[in-house]
Structures are given as structure tokens and as C-alpha cells.
Structure 1
Amino acid sequence: MNSAVEKRSSLSGHVDVWYCFTDDARLNSKLAQYEAMLSPAEQQQYQLLMHGSNDRDYLVSRALLRTVLSEYCNLAPEDIGFCVNAYGKPELSNSEELGLIQFNTAHTSGLTVCVVTRESDIGIDVESPAENRGILNMADDYFSASELQSLNSRADDQQLDYFYRYWTLKEAYIKARGEGLSIPLHDFSIVLDEQGAFSEFVGPEADRWDFSIVCKNLNFTAAIALGRKINSITYFHSIPLVKQLELSAEEAFNNFPVSGSGQRNRMIG
């Protein structure tokens, strides 16, 4: 294990955020090695996606997760085993033996992200914002009354931005809880301050949960939820089996690569 990664990851309330741009041309020479890492179940899923628009994203996302977790587990990427809980949330097969490592992943067109921490429930969501304001109609179905009121009070040119802040924060919480759609989205609320940063959570065990928007630019919005106070976050840009670079919060997600597969359409991830 990388000693710096090990030292930070053992700190209470510390989160490591790893990301990879899946259009990066530097990935091309490694795709066969990424495929060799996959488990039989992942191989089957990859084959189903072959020749579609999401096959590369899937392959790179699995390679990122496996190479990242190998930093914490002292295992080769291909030797890492996964299981799922009763609601389908992925977990390490032998998490207790590996130091109670908790992780979560998310991807959208052109970007895959994973987060790692110790002992605490964690979730992440990432979206590539659509420019169509019609997406705002979804807020009525998924946002609480207070979130809707806050969203509607924003200026017209801010509403799409704030929609994705709320959306990613709420999805990160759902994923951290690991109970799927059994958690009604109307039954908890995210409160944002005037600058659009996380301010307060109103819901079950409110004192236990903390949130952060870890990416906000023209291309992506990403947020995390942690089942304890977030004390520190470290960011890594990773090209699996090629290089990894630690970045500041201001630099992270802004170092766009040369595209290897052309322009991607924006989509909800």
C-alpha cells in the first residue's frame, strides 16, 4: 500500500476521491489489461455492452475501482472480490479483514469517480448537466417541499445549476445508506446556503450525516455523503496502470484530457 494513502485513509472522517476521464486517449493502450482484470460476472456485463456507447465507460470504471482499491487492500486489482448487500450495494467480500474499507462509485458520460473511506457509510453521485430546462420537471417527483421552494426561489439562470446540486447530494445519500429506493426521496431534505454549498441535512439520524459538493464546473456536478463528519478530502486524478496525480480541490476535475473517442453527449449518469 502507498504509505501516504494508508496514513490519510486511516484518519477519522477522511475521504479519498478518485476520478478518471473515460475519453482520455492515454487509456487506449491499456484497455486489454483492464479487460483482463474483470471477474467473470464483470466480463459478462462488459460483453453485453460491447459495441454500444457505454462499453468503454464501464470498462474504465471497473479498472479505476479495482486499481484504486488495490492501493488500500494490498491485493492485485484482479484479485479483489465483491459482494452486494440485500439491496444490491457493492461491498468488498472481506471488508473486515481489509480494514473496514468502504467505497462507492458513480459515472456519467466521459467521467468515472470512486470514493474510499474507513468504517463509515459513503456514497457519491456524479452528473453531466443537461442544458434542457425540461429536466427541472423531475424536481416535483424527487425533491422535498422545502427543496422545491428553495429551487423555485432561485433566479431562472441558476435553477439548472441548483437542481444538479440537490440531485447529486440526494443520490449520494441514497447510495451511502445502501437501501435503494426503499428510502422515499421526499422524506429528507438538503439545505444549501446562499453560495450553493451544503448547509444542513434534515432527515433520519441528521447529526450523523455530512455532505460535500466535490465537483462543480460546466461539465460535471458531483457530491458525496458520509455517515460521519467529513474532516478532510483528498483528490486524485488516475489513469489506471499509467499514472495518478494528487490535486487540490480547486484543480480537481478541471484537467481535461485530449479526447480519445470523440465528443460525448451530455446525459444523466
Structure 2
Amino acid sequence: METSLELVRTGSPKYVVLAKVLAEQIRMDLSIGAPLPTERELQVSYQVSRDTVRRAIARLAAAGLVYNVQGSGTYVADPSQIRKGTRLTGFSQDMAERGFKASSRTLDCRIEPCPAETARALGMEEGSEVLLLRRLRLADGAPMALETARLVPGLFGEALPDPEGSLDAQLAAHGQRIMRAGQSITATNLSVAEAHLLDQPVGAAALRVDRVGFTDQGRAIEATETLYRGDRYGYETTVERDPA
């Protein structure tokens, strides 16, 4: 077992080192679904504070190594299953945190008339110009998600965005950043074309996530529909009962 002194000697924050130690134990000793020691047990074993333990576990959860069950504990995650939480992150960030190399295959990138549903979401007039970007998102070369994004034109200056790169990074480079988003998640089944792109059987389960992204000034600039493979993705949130 590492001691608090050994944790300090590395020069890194304690929670970062503790997360690395626990990640190594998960890889070497624990099977999928196995429980981690309780927060109290980790505090005692590593002589660290409760805050350090919680931040270390949060780091492991962000990397997809563990997941939390409210009122029960923390468990080893299936590495093939990506669990998204409530943080606002993009695909590239999600994959990087899990040790995958993100890439994209562009299916369409053009200016088109804005559909009615998108117009309502972005506060635009139906039929006005909107930027369409449709991409197959991959992790280490494997298809993971089918993404159809529509964005307010002019966000990238006079040019179209690089469809192979991170939209979040490109928006930030042009002084635009999505700070909050409203989204809905529904279960669906893949059509013939969708299944072919995602390398799944026709009718396979998928998660459809519809998201509208807003800047810190409250301006809606992006409406995106993403189909995630049901065998690779899950969503987890914490819910609480109203006080009696």
C-alpha cells in the first residue's frame, strides 16, 4: 500500500497519484463489476482526506474505469462500455480521457436551408442558411457514433470548419464556446444505412441524443443529433428525492 508520504514524494496532487494507484489495482486485481473499497477504507489505507478520495474516484469515473451507484458504492466499469455523465464534454474529449484516439469520417459538410425543428431550436427563420456537418465518429478506428450537427453560419469566420477536427476546439479558437446545453436522450433502433455506418446489425439498439448548445451569453449556436451505439454507450446521472 502507498502511504501519504509516498504520495507526496511524486510532486503531483494527491488525488492524481491516488487515482493512478487505484487504476493500476483495477487493471491488475479487480474484475468488471467488482466493488472498490469504500471512501472510508480508502482514506484509512492511503492516509488521505475524504476530498482527495472523492476527487480521485471522480477522475477514474471520467476515464471510464469506474462507475457510481447512488447509495451503493463504486464499481469497476466494463472498458468497452463508455459511460457519459452530466459534464458537458465533446466526443474528442470523451475519447481522450479514456485513452482512445478520436477521429472522424466526414459524410457531409455544406450550407443548407435550415429545417423547421432546427430553426426553432436555434431561434432562426426556417429556410435561412445553416451549416450542416454530418460525421461518423471513431475511436481507435472503430465506429462509435453518427453525428449530425447544424450550426449558426459565420462561427468560423468566412471558412467552413475542418470536419476532421474537434468542433469545440475550433469554436473556441474563433472566440465561441458552448458553456451549457439542453439535451434529450431516447432509445432507438438503427436503420439499414445507420447500421451499416456503425458496423451494427440492422435494428440494433442505439441511444439518440439531441442537444442544443448555448454560449455563456445564452445564444444558441449548435443543434446536434448523435446516434451512439447501444453496446458501447450508457448514460448515468444522480437523482435525488424531494425533501418531505
Which range, TM-score by smaller chain? under 0.3
Between the two structures, name the one with larger relative contact order (CA 8 Å, sep ≥ 6): 1
Which protein has the larger Cα radius of gyration, Structure 1 or Structure 2? 2
- The structure with the greater share of residues assigned to helix is 1
- The structure with the greater share of residues assigned to strand is 2
TM-score relative to the length of structure 1: 0.25
